[in-house]
Amino acid sequence: MPKQVDYDSRRRQIAEAVCLLADEHGPEGVSMRDVAARAQVSLGAVQRCFRTKEEMLLFAVHHVGERVRARLTADASLGQVAEEVALLRDEHRAQARIWLAFVAQAAVKEPLAGPLRESYAALHELLVRLATESGLADPPGEARALLALADGLTTHVLIGHLSAEQAEAVLRTHVAGLGK
């Protein structure tokens, strides 16, 4: 009897390998052969899951976004969501580098931009809901500003302009000043 393969699990395994390689070399440095080696599967297994490198990268972008959203709890506050989105913790540094690398690629490769827009739209919607529940006067505007601030702080931390602690302080100060 042929072995049953859990393709969802295999795709996530491959996405993890893509993320590790993208963290080390950027998305342009990721090859299907290297992904297969890192995921400890055959090249054929990668090709059965993804027809092209671009399709594989798109899935990896979705995967990173899902990992961030999975950490958001139903009862999270506006500030907690913003901190999670900013990926400032040491244990999320690789995800932050990967996300930023994908954002840079998306600026010149439209197929990558679509999934990123979807992720940002979902995060914006969540922040609008939380801003509304917090009684802020302009929830969509505050959500846009908070999302942009979180994204910008990620970049500042990654390039060493700010420490994670400084960025967290900026974010907390901004959130504390909302609605005043």
SS (H, E, C) 117-147: HHHHHHHHHHHHHHHHHCCCCCHHHHHHHHH
How many Å is the maximal CA-CA distance in the chain? 67
If pLDDT is split at 50, 70 and 90, which confidence band does 3 have? low
Q: pLDDT of 106-149, one tens digit each?
A: 899 888 888 889 889 988 999 999 999 999 999 999 999 999 99
Q: pLDDT of 60-102, one tens digit each?
A: 888 888 888 888 877 888 988 999 889 888 888 888 888 888 8
Q: Which of 136, 132, 133 is nearest to 179 (CA)?
A: 136
Question: 92: which DSSP letter?
Answer: G
- Residue 175: the pLDDT is 93
Helix (H), strand (E) at residue 24: helix 7-25
Orientation of helix 7-25 relative to helix 53-70, angle to 10°: 100
If pLDDT is split at 50, 70 and 90, which confidence band does 5 have? confident
Q: Cα separations (Å) of 175 from 51, 133, 143, 166?
A: 44, 14, 11, 14
More confident residue, 169 or 61: 169
| Mean pLDDT to the nearest integer, 33-39 | 96
CATH superfamily, domain at 1-63:
Homeodomain-like (1.10.10.60)
Q: What does pLDDT average to over the chain?
A: 90
Percentage of residues in the chain with pLDDT exceeding 90? 52
Listed by start position, the domains of the chain span 1-63, 71-180
- Residue 46: the pLDDT is 96
What class is the 71-180 domain? mainly alpha
If pLDDT is split at 50, 70 and 90, which confidence band does 157 have? very high
- Residue 2: the pLDDT is 56
Check whether 179 has a pLDDT greater than 80: no
Q: Which of 11, 174, 164, 8 is nearest to 96 (CA)?
A: 164
DSSP letter string, the chain: -PPP--HHHHHHHHHHHHHHHHHHH-GGG--HHHHHHHHTS-HHHHHHH-SSHHHHHHHHHHHHHHHHHHT--TT--HHHHHHHHHT-SGGGHHHHHHHHHHHHHHTT-HHHHHHHHHHHHHHHHHHHHHHHHTT-S-HHHHHHHHHHHHHHHHHHHHTTSS-HHHHHHHHHHHHHHTT-
What pTM was estimated for this model as a whole? 0.81
Rg of the chain (C-alpha set):
18
Check whether 4 has a pLDDT greater than 80: no
